Amino acid sequence: MKLQKRRQMQGFTLLELLMVVIIIAILASIALPQYLRVAERSRAAEALTNLATIRSSEERYRAATGSTLGVGNEYTVDLTKVDIDVPQFPAGSGAFGTQNWSFSVDGTTLGNHVVATRTDGSGDTITTVMDTGITCATNANHQVGNVQPAGSPNC
């Protein structure tokens, strides 16, 4: 009796393909949240840069107009009066901000704040106190560098 040669199998079995798909899904489930955190932190860095720029230009405005601390509102809430080009989004709209953040100066509260608010509707904010430079954020992903959580004693 002759032994028949077994045909060589080509390709992968269904089980092997299923295992590869499962491994890829596990890796994606680990990597995707980390990627989203990093992306959000980079957006926060964008806001922090703009907040620092606006705060320093407000300080120059205060020095140029001769305002003194504790006498009225020494900062301007009109960002067209400062010596920098605050980004407008959409361009020419008069709304100060970028694709991710809108910027405003809150001159109604004691201490004056420059505020960045997320434009995605999440309500997340990053606030810098003008006089002290302390920065606070409502979202933990925005707490990069020296940024403190909102509600902390210095905020």
* Bigger pLDDT: 29 vs 67: 29
d(CA 29, CA 70): 53
Structure letter (DSSP) for residue 140: G
Range from 4-8, 62-66, 89-93, 142-146 carrying the lowest mean pLDDT? 4-8
Domain map of the chain by residue range? 16-66+74-149
Residue 147, token pair as written in the block: 């940024």
> What residues form DSSP beta bridges with 113?
106, 129
| pLDDT digit string, tens, across residues 8-41 | 667 889 999 999 999 999 999 999 999 998 998 8
Distance of CA 121 to the CA centre of its chain: 13
